[in-house]
């Protein structure tokens, strides 16, 4: 007769496997600054042996988790990580709730719709739906963009608690991507106030030349925004008048997703009308 089952004991503190810990630290460093890193630079920054860093990078490269630039032999994160982002995406309530609205927006507008969230000091594309046309904006799931990247960043920053938002702007001055980018901190701050008031943001070729977008915040039961919903396309197809229509469509879809995630109706009610010429929006 078998004895009673004994539950496995758990260690009081986690025992880190050194090689795995080093590999994760390297991935975190590559993730934190989206640029190419050399082996010596990584070893020096992390305080690790150069040969150890090289062996870890080659192992990660073998599995597609990092990739090496052919011209410089320096390293960046690899596209193999998108598979992990996709697995996480498929298991989240946010994506499950937002997916029908992403599809409906792409069908209704004929443009690409994106679901993105704040990931540290970047924006992570969590899901997307693209129209069945040859000419369209395409962005891979798992791609991380600068927080100042057009309308997505605006709605995420605008939804922050004001003191936290002011600290962010003080520590990270707005960047210039195109001739239309707003780089004056005071002007950008005023733009975010307008975005918070009206419930959506526009991007009139401020992040990429020839590209326009409209975004709205997705909220949950807690303050702030849990994600951003965006419709993006080429300016040759999106006039200022049509951009206003896209803003209304994306704001309505974001409100419906927010309600399903537990946001109070008052938290998602629009305070202004989409007209393409609101205070603080790009010209």
pLDDT tens digits for 164-214?
Answer: 888 888 888 888 999 999 999 889 999 999 999 999 999 999 999 999 999
Tell whether 177 and 107 lie within a shared domain.
yes
Q: What percent of the chain has pLDDT over 90?
A: 46
Which structural domain range is residue 32 located in?
A: 18-78
Confidence of residue 71 (pLDDT cuts 50, 70, 90): confident
Can you give the pLDDT at residue 40? 93
The pLDDT of residue 102 is above 90 = yes
The pLDDT of residue 7 is above 70 = no
Report yes or no on 281 lying in a domain: no
The pLDDT of residue 277 is above 50 = no
Task: Give the least confident one: 93-97, 106-110, 207-211, 229-233.
Answer: 93-97
Between CA 221 and CA 259 the distance in angstroms is 9
Q: What percent of the chain has pLDDT over 70?
A: 83
Number of domains in the chain: 2
CA-based end-to-end distance of the chain: 80
* Cα–Cα distances in angstroms (integers) from residue 109 to residues 78, 128, 216, in the given order: 32, 14, 15
- Give me the CATH number covering residue 42: 1.10.10.10
Tell whether 116 and 208 lie within a shared domain.
yes
Report yes or no on 10 lying in a domain: no
The whole-model pTM stands at 0.65
Can you give the pLDDT at residue 30? 87
Tell whether 42 and 165 lie within a shared domain.
no
Contact 136, 238 (CB under 8 A): no
The predicted model gives 272-278 an average pLDDT of 39
Report yes or no on 8 lying in a domain: no
At which of 48, 78, 108 does a domain end?
A: 78
Report yes or no on 43 lying in a domain: yes
Confidence of residue 122 (pLDDT cuts 50, 70, 90): confident
Tell whether 118 and 221 lie within a shared domain.
yes
Residue 185, Cβ neighbours under 10 Å: how many?
Answer: 14
Tell whether 27 and 141 lie within a shared domain.
no
The predicted model gives 268-276 an average pLDDT of 46
Report yes or no on 276 lying in a domain: no
Q: Please name which of 111, 134, 116, 133 lies closest in space to residue 212, comparing C-alpha atoms.
A: 111
The predicted model gives 10-24 an average pLDDT of 75
Contact 94, 223 (CB under 8 A): no
Report yes or no on 282 lying in a domain: no
Contact 212, 205 (CB under 8 A): yes
Tell whether 179 and 64 lie within a shared domain.
no
Displacement of CA 20 from its chain's centroid (Å): 27
The pLDDT of residue 283 is above 70 = no
The predicted model gives 144-148 an average pLDDT of 86
- Give me the CATH number covering residue 256: 3.30.450.40
Can you give the pLDDT at residue 1? 38
Name residue, tokens 């080093």.
22
Report yes or no on 175 lying in a domain: yes
Tell whether 45 and 163 lie within a shared domain.
no
The pLDDT of residue 55 is above 70 = yes
Report yes or no on 7 lying in a domain: no
At which of 78, 93, 118 does a domain end?
A: 78
Q: Please name which of 85, 57, 59 lies closest in space to residue 69, comparing C-alpha atoms.
A: 57
- Beta partners for residue 145, in sequence order: 123
Tell whether 158 and 231 lie within a shared domain.
yes
Between CA 29 and CA 72 the distance in angstroms is 18
Between CA 261 and CA 222 the distance in angstroms is 10
């Amino acid at each position: 007769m078998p004895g009673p089952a004994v539950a496995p004991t758990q260690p009081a503190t986690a025992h880190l496997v050194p090689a795995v810990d080093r590999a994760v630290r390297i991935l975190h460093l590559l993730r934190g600054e989206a640029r190419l890193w050399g082996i010596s630079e990584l070893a020096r920054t992390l305080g690790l042996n150069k040969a150890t860093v090289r062996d870890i990078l080659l192992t990660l490269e073998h599995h597609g988790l990092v990739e090496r630039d052919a011209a410089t032999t320096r390293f960046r994160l690899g596209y193999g990580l998108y598979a992990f982002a996709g697995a996480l995406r498929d298991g989240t309530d946010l994506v499950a709730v937002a997916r029908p609205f992403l599809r409906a927006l792409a069908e209704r507008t004929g443009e690409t719709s994106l679901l993105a969230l704040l990931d540290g000091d970047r924006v992570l594309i969590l899901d997307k739906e693209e129209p069945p046309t040859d000419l369209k904006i395409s962005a891979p799931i798992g791609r991380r963009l600068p927080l100042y990247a057009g309308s997505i960043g605006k709605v995420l920053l605008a939804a922050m608690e004001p003191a936290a938002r002011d600290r962010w702007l003080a520590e990270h001055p707005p960047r210039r991507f195109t001739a239309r980018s707003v780089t004056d901190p005071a002007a950008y701050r005023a733009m975010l106030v307008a975005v918070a008031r009206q419930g959506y943001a526009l991007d009139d070729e401020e992040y990429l030349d020839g590209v326009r977008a409209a975004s709205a915040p997705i909220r949950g039961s807690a303050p702030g925004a849990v994600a951003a919903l965006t419709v993006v396309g080429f300016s040759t197809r999106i006039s200022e008048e049509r951009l206003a229509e896209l803003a209304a469509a994306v704001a309505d879809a974001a409100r419906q997703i927010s309600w399903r995630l537990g946001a109070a109706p008052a938290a998602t009610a629009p305070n202004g009308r989409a007209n393409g010429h609101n205070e603080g929006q790009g010209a």
